[in-house]
Amino acid sequence: MENTYMEKNKKIITSDILKNSIKDSFVKLNPKLLIKNPVIFIVAVGAVLTTCALFFDFTLFNMYITLGLWFTVLFANFAEAIAEGRGKAQAEDLKKSRKETIARKLNNGKEMRINASLLKPGDIVVCEAGDIIPEDGEVIEGIASVNESAITGESAPVIRESGGDRSAVTGGTTVISDRIVIRIVSEAGKSFMDKLIALVEGAKRQKTPNEIALTILLAGLTIIFLLAVATLPSFFRYSSSSNESSNYLTIPVLVSLLVCLIPTTIGGLLSAIGISGMDRLIKKNVIALSGKAIEAAGDLDVLLLDKTGTITLGNRMATDIIPLNGTDIKKLAECAMLSSLSDETPEGRSIIKLTKEKFDTHPKEIHPAMVEFIPFSAETRMSGMDYRENGSVRNIRKGASEAIEKYISICGGKVPSELKQKVEQIASQGETPLVVSEGKDILGLIRLKDVVKGGIKERFEQLRKMGIKTIMITGDNPLTAASIAAEAGVDDFMAEAKPEDKLRRIRKEQANGHLVGMIGDGTNDAPALAQSDVGIAMNTGTQAAREAGNMVDLDSNPTKLIEVVETGKQLLMTRGALTTFSIANDVAKYFAILPAVFAVLYAATGSMNGPLQALNIMKLASPQSAILSAVIFNAIIIVLLIPLALKGIKYRAEGANAVLRRNILIYGVGGIIAPFIGIKLIDLFINSIKII
Amino acid sequence: MKVSDFLQIGLYIFLLIIFTPFLGSYMAKVFKGEKNLLTPLFGKFEKLIYRISGVNYEEEMRWKTYLFSLLVFNFLGFTIVLLLQLFQSYLPLNPQNLPNVPFHLSFNTAISFMTNTNWQSYAGETTLSYLVQMLGLTVQNFVSAATGIAVILALIRAFTRRNGNSIGNFWTDIVRSILYVLLPLSIIMTLLLVSQGVVQTFSSYLNITTLNGTQQTIPLGPAASQIAIKQLGTNGGGFFNVNSAFPFENPTPVSNFIEMLAILLIPAALTYTYGKMIGDNKHGWIIFSAMLILFITGLTASLTSEYQYNPVTGTNINMEGKEVRFGVTNSVLWSAATTAASNGSVNSMHDSMTPLSGMVAIFNIMLGEVIFGGVGAGLYGMLIFIIITVFIAGLMVGRTPEYLGKKIEALDIKMAITAVLLPSAVILVYSAIAVVIPQGLSSLNNTGPHGLTEILYAFSSAAGNNGSAFAGLNSNTPYYDINLGIGMLVGRFGVIIPALVIAGNIVKKNIAPVSAGTFSTNSGIFVVLLIGVIIIIGGLTFFPVLTLGPVVEQLLMKSATVF
């Protein structure tokens, strides 16, 4: 598994892909495939017509034009093939890892070996070190390290365990240590990996809403220009003195004019742009489950970002404990330690570490039989233990101050007056206070420090310039949240946020017309992920989260959301820029072809140059070379722009007006000027080699 | 050109800019149903109209109902005008005893006035009775203009309502447009015109003996009232055949100036109304400036060409086909305004202009009548182009395109491009047929590129619902009457129907708030882009045929070749 597709993907186009793409360019000449792209289909019909015309009127000029037209079609096909080719190569590698596996199915506790393809959702299987996980599932028992390089390309193993937010396992990945029991959730052939293969292969690629709209616009323009060209012979016949029209306005000439006017550049590159957009995301290790999601990503103007992992490093560290009510600091240290024993989070571990180092507390004196652990839940927002000691039960808890206060008042205890002030004091410094209690008494506070990631403030500044509002989501109390929000430079924050709050906030933003993006991992994120316009599920997350999101981040890096937005914007920009370029090109093409076609009209007797030669501002050598140059330019420009279509146009984080001004200048004004130069150069060249 | 010429053009544009916010904000109040200047005068009357006609003015319509009401209303108007003409000899107010109008001409005229085109295949004074003129044509002049306003109002509501489904009440929109806007303005203008000597009488024509002893018939009629609305409602159908070149329609420089200003008055003010109603006054001015730039560009080209040395006549000033009373500047200004605004009234013969000025006139029409354009129609035509502009350029800022916060999606684009496509198809296909068949060619008085321009102009004028004629083409033949009629129908409803489908689709969408990432439709770049799209998408189609018409004619004129 060394050579995963991810790594291969990072290479530039290989000769294999190139070879296959050339082959595919011809395969795609199949009319059934061509018709999906109306602009290029019209070019192909034109090419067929000129080919037929060759049989009646074979001239070198007609042959060159015919070749030029066929190459236009082939170049467009090639653009699409090469964009698909990269995906196909990746899919091939993925398929190799998808070979037949034997599943160890548990039936009433008994193990039986069956073919993985026979598994149904709800089946229970067991996997031990060395086994390949047969289908997507949820770990219901045990903990194991799993090698997921088949999908992520990352060779470092990841931990998968029951409960919590890291319970989802993917079919096709390999268990490398320990034993886990898995409940299968996907049907054979519909697993994450199958979807992944179909996605990267582009087999199930559907046109995205904006792509459909653009295709309609391009088809409409094509019809308009078809009308302009189809009516031309009639106007020409009216204008010419004799019946000479058939001599000058031949099928190849008319088809050339049409092909040059219709938006072939964008028509030929449109699907390549879409495919490569998805491809660029894959390169960033994000799988978009639909092209629509990438487009929507460009539109996001509100991002919900979890504080932990995105804005802060995520590992809050306990730095101090503060006794209240005259509690002995040793006792507070012990209770803090005890309350954190079941807490496997980095914070929990940092508390144990702190108490051990500073106050010399030792957890090993506790007998498991005497303890009932209370795990942390999002609802109670507390964790701790009930510890039987000397016949009495010590109820030790730690948690957010509201949660403990509520708990204490239910238990009938009293909240010390100084608590509130201390909590606010800690929180206002951007740190998190945890309150420790035993029974009805509040013992003191643990101070947790949160570290804001470097460079994140600049990132949010960029987002603001792009018109994107960032909202930090945190379970912290409002004061802590405000302090971190200020430090990180987010626009807004939601403190003490419960999953329902997230959902409500997303709905509220959407009702105001915003498009909301979020990234999440836990089961409790699933509703919010599903509600958001772009929901990115982390690959380490639960199956529920993965199902609910419309993108999956294989690296499970929460900062990805920002990159996804950029990719979406880049995709849309590339589409717009090439459309503008394509349409702007028409001006020059008119000046090349119209004087050539109309050269003889109203000419003085015996002369070949009528008054309309005045329009030949490029001073192209002859009518024939002018038309041929325009056709060649039109074909070559597609090839020249393939790299741009695949890479996307240059993206900078700045406001819409600045982006627009630059793109208009490059692709609009440039689009008007470039063909004048290009056509003139081609005309000089073909006349210098005297092929016509 | 003399200083006075520049001054006059300057005054014209200045007054246009001054009147726009005043009339515009008044209209916004009217259309929102708010209390306005004339509510004390007409408020009760308006309610009475609703009560008599059984319209519940608070009822909201979905786009299909709105469109259906519009179509029924227009068809009714068409039928009345058609029947009035077919049976005018049996009807009163026909002092000249004019005979019944033949079917093809009645058909053409009825469509022409339903669609706000006012193409004149008929000659007013020798074909139509006073009754037809007043009850048929003048009424249609009001309601066809009001129809245009209704469509733009539906679009405004579509863009401003969040997640809605209804786009207003067609009947209320029509009543308010006529009662509070068209009628009062027409009354004021009629009085102004009568003060200048425009005729307004029911007497029969006068037969007089001229100084050199011949008999001459002087046509009369209730002209001033119809002229007022034909100018204000961008209708353009003159009471007399030669339209505003006729002294009784347009006697003095003052009447000429008033009539010219009236052409662009409402279409220009509607841009302000639009801005006001969408809650973005600046955007109204942005649209206004795009229109004004296109207008001034065309006007400049036209004036330059008319004041250039002409090798055919050997003069520096082209007076052929122009009224000596008005001179070149006033004639060219009128021609630019009337073709930009789909008005179609004339005070000179466009046929006699230099090929280049003729091209400006025809190009103004071909662009889809969006340079101020018809009342309402110009603005909704412009909105179609704005949608296309926003779609192409909006993508370049990295968002799926939106306009006024509403996403522009497949259906909107499909309809927008249909609205551009259909009128273009009418112009190109019909002209291409007419230039090769005897029925088309036999009406021509000129050959060569000039003849081509004449035919092209006729179909452009029909498709753009302009109604002005290039002249030189005898269009009152069954062939032209019927086909120009169909062209007008497609040109009108081929845009109205897509526009209302867009309204129905847009109104359902949510409104995205403006942010730094939003494509701004209030910038100078947007104006440039919009103009670029109008010229490239709206105009590029016609480059080849224009090359064979006015362009080659202009080039040939330099060698003194004429057709």
Q: Name the least confident of A4-18, A198-212, B87-101.
A: A4-18
Q: Which of A210, A253, A564, A616 to probe by mutation at the B interface, max B CB count within 10 Å? A: A210
How far apart, in whole angstroms, are the C-alpha atoms of residue B138 and residue A401? 80
Considering only CB atoms, B400 lies closest to which of A299, A579, A590, namely A299
| Nearest residue in chain A measured CA to CA from B419 | A220
Pairing of strands A174-177, A124-128: unpaired
Q: In sequence order, which residues have a C-beta less than 8 Å from that of residue B2 and are 6 or more positions away?
A: none
Does A232 reach chain B within 8 Å, measured CB to CB?
Answer: yes
For tokens 């006068």, name the residue.
B206
**What residues of chain A lie within 8 A of the CB of B529, using their CB?**
664, 668
What pLDDT score was predicted for residue A578? 95
Statement: residue A243 has pLDDT above 60: no
How far apart, in whole angstroms, are the C-alpha atoms of residue B455 and residue B104? 19
The candidate with the shortest Cα–Cα distance to B291, out of B191, B369, B221, is: B369
Helices assigned H by DSSP within A2-59: 5-10, 15-27, 31-34, 38-56
Does A573 reach chain B within 8 Å, measured CB to CB?
Answer: yes
Q: Does any domain span residue B563?
A: no
Q: Does any domain span residue B454?
A: yes
CA distances B139 to B136, B251, B465, Å, are 6, 24, 17
**What residues of chain B lie within 8 A of the CB of A590, using their CB?**
540, 543-544
Note which residues in 253-292 of chain A have CB less than 8 A from chain B: 257, 261
Q: Is A606 exposed, middle or buried (0-12, 13-18, 19+ CB in 10 A)?
A: exposed
Residue A4 — very low, low, confident or very high, per pLDDT cuts 50/70/90?
A: very low
Considering only CB atoms, A512 lies closest to which of B388, B513, B519, namely B513
Minimal C-alpha gap between A17 and chain B (Å): 30
The candidate with the shortest Cα–Cα distance to B305, out of B7, B93, B550, is: B550
Q: Does any domain span residue B562?
A: no
Q: Are A568 and B543 inside 8 Å of each other by CB?
A: no
What pLDDT score was predicted for residue A10? 47
The per-residue pLDDT for range A521-558, each reduced to its tens digit, is: 767 778 888 899 999 888 777 777 777 888 888 877 77
Q: Is A126 exposed, middle or buried (0-12, 13-18, 19+ CB in 10 A)?
A: middle
How far apart, in whole angstroms, are the C-alpha atoms of residue B233 and residue B181? 10
Q: In sequence order, which residues have a C-beta less than 8 Å from that of residue A377 and are 6 or more positions away?
A: none
The per-residue pLDDT for range A36-87, each reduced to its tens digit, is: 899 999 999 999 999 999 998 899 999 999 999 999 999 999 999 988 887 7
Q: Which of B385, B387, B399, B534 to probe by mutation at the A interface, max A CB count within 10 Å? A: B399
Q: Which amino acid is at A609?
A: N
Which residue range is the domain that position B530 belongs to? 3-557
Statement: residue A194 has pLDDT above 90: no
What pLDDT score was predicted for residue A202? 64
Q: Which amino acid is at A369?
A: A
% of chain A with per-residue pLDDT over 70: 91
**What residues of chain A lie within 8 A of the CB of B418, using their CB?**
220
The sign of the CA dihedral A265, A271, A274, A277 is negative
Question: How many alpha carbons fall within 13 Å on the CB side of residue B73?
Answer: 23
| Nearest residue in chain B measured CA to CA from A667 | B396
Any catalytic annotation for residue A306?
Answer: yes
Q: Are A227 and B541 inside 8 Å of each other by CB?
A: yes
Is-contact A554 A321, C-beta < 8 A?
A: no
Q: Are A235 and B435 inside 8 Å of each other by CB?
A: yes
Q: Are A572 and B398 inside 8 Å of each other by CB?
A: yes
Q: Are A576 and B392 inside 8 Å of each other by CB?
A: yes
Angle separating helix axes B327-340 and B253-277, nearest 10 degrees: 30
Q: Which residues of A522-538 are buried (b: 16+ CB within 10 A; e: fewer)?
A: bbbbbbbbbbbbbbbbb
Q: Does any domain span residue B543?
A: yes
| Nearest residue in chain B measured CA to CA from A224 | B421
- Dihedral, CA atoms, A209, A210, A212, A216, nearest 10 degrees? 140
Considering only CB atoms, B424 lies closest to which of A224, A598, A656, namely A224
Statement: residue A220 has pLDDT above 90: yes
The per-residue pLDDT for range A82-132, each reduced to its tens digit, is: 888 877 777 777 777 666 778 888 888 788 888 887 888 888 899 888 888
Note which residues in 453-482 of chain A have CB less than 8 A from chain B: 464-469
Helices assigned H by DSSP within A363-522: 401-411, 417-428, 456-465, 478-488, 499-511
**What residues of chain B lie within 8 A of the CB of A293, using their CB?**
none
Minimal C-alpha gap between B375 and chain A (Å): 26
Q: Are B559 and A611 inside 8 Å of each other by CB?
A: yes
Angle at A386 between CA A384 and CA A391, to 5 degrees: 155
Minimal C-alpha gap between B344 and chain A (Å): 25
Q: Does any domain span residue B459?
A: yes
Q: Are B556 and A602 inside 8 Å of each other by CB?
A: yes
Does A510 reach chain B within 8 Å, measured CB to CB?
Answer: yes
Q: Are A570 and B397 inside 8 Å of each other by CB?
A: no
The candidate with the shortest Cα–Cα distance to B373, out of B293, B267, B290, B288, is: B267
Considering only CB atoms, B393 lies closest to which of A467, A511, A660, namely A660
DSSP letter assigned to residue B204: P
Q: Are A213 and B412 inside 8 Å of each other by CB?
A: yes
Q: Are B400 and A234 inside 8 Å of each other by CB?
A: no
The pLDDT profile of chain B, 563 residues, written as one tens digit per residue, is 889 899 999 999 999 999 999 999 999 999 999 999 999 999 999 999 999 998 888 899 999 999 999 999 999 999 999 999 999 989 988 888 889 999 999 999 999 999 999 888 887 777 888 888 888 888 999 999 999 999 999 999 999 999 999 999 999 999 999 999 999 999 999 999 999 988 888 877 788 888 888 888 888 888 888 889 989 999 887 777 778 888 888 889 899 999 999 999 999 999 999 999 999 999 999 999 999 999 999 999 999 999 888 887 778 788 888 888 888 899 999 999 999 998 888 888 888 888 999 999 999 999 989 999 999 999 999 999 999 999 988 899 888 899 999 999 999 999 999 999 999 999 999 999 999 999 888 888 888 889 999 999 999 999 999 988 887 788 889 999 999 999 999 999 999 999 999 999 999 999 998 888 888 899 999 999 999 999 988 788 899 999 999 998 888 887 777 77
Does A368 reach chain B within 8 Å, measured CB to CB?
Answer: no
Q: Which residue has the higher pLDDT, B40 or A362?
A: B40
User: Whole-number mean pLDDT of chain A?
Assistant: 84
What pLDDT score was predicted for residue B370? 93
Q: Which residues of A562-593 are buried (b: 16+ CB within 10 A; e: fewer)?
A: bbbbbbbbbbbbbbbbbbbbbbbbbbbbbbbb
Pairing of strands A516-520, A469-473: unpaired
Q: Are A573 and B510 inside 8 Å of each other by CB?
A: no
Does A614 reach chain B within 8 Å, measured CB to CB?
Answer: yes
Does A569 reach chain B within 8 Å, measured CB to CB?
Answer: yes
How far apart, in whole angstroms, are the C-alpha atoms of residue A521 and residue A529? 9
Statement: residue A2 has pLDDT above 70: no
Q: Which two tokens stand for residue B31?
A: 């259309």
Number of domains in chain B: 1
**What residues of chain A lie within 8 A of the CB of B435, using their CB?**
234-235, 237-238
DSSP letter assigned to residue A285: T
The candidate with the shortest Cα–Cα distance to A545, out of A202, A206, A306, A302, is: A306
Minimal C-alpha gap between A653 and chain B (Å): 10
At residue B322, φ and ψ (nearest 5 deg) are: -115, 150
Statement: residue A479 has pLDDT above 60: yes
How many other C-beta atoms are found inside a 10 Å radius of the C-beta of residue A298?
Answer: 26
Q: Are A239 and B552 inside 8 Å of each other by CB?
A: yes
Q: Which two tokens stand for residue B195?
A: 């003060």
What pLDDT score was predicted for residue B154? 97
Considering only CB atoms, B510 lies closest to which of A513, A614, A661, namely A513
Q: Are A655 and B517 inside 8 Å of each other by CB?
A: yes
Q: Are A659 and B398 inside 8 Å of each other by CB?
A: yes
How far apart, in whole angstroms, are the C-alpha atoms of residue B277 and residue B291? 19
Question: How many alpha carbons fall within 13 Å on the CB side of residue A350?
Answer: 17
Minimal C-alpha gap between B413 and chain A (Å): 6
Q: Which two tokens stand for residue A648?
A: 């996307």
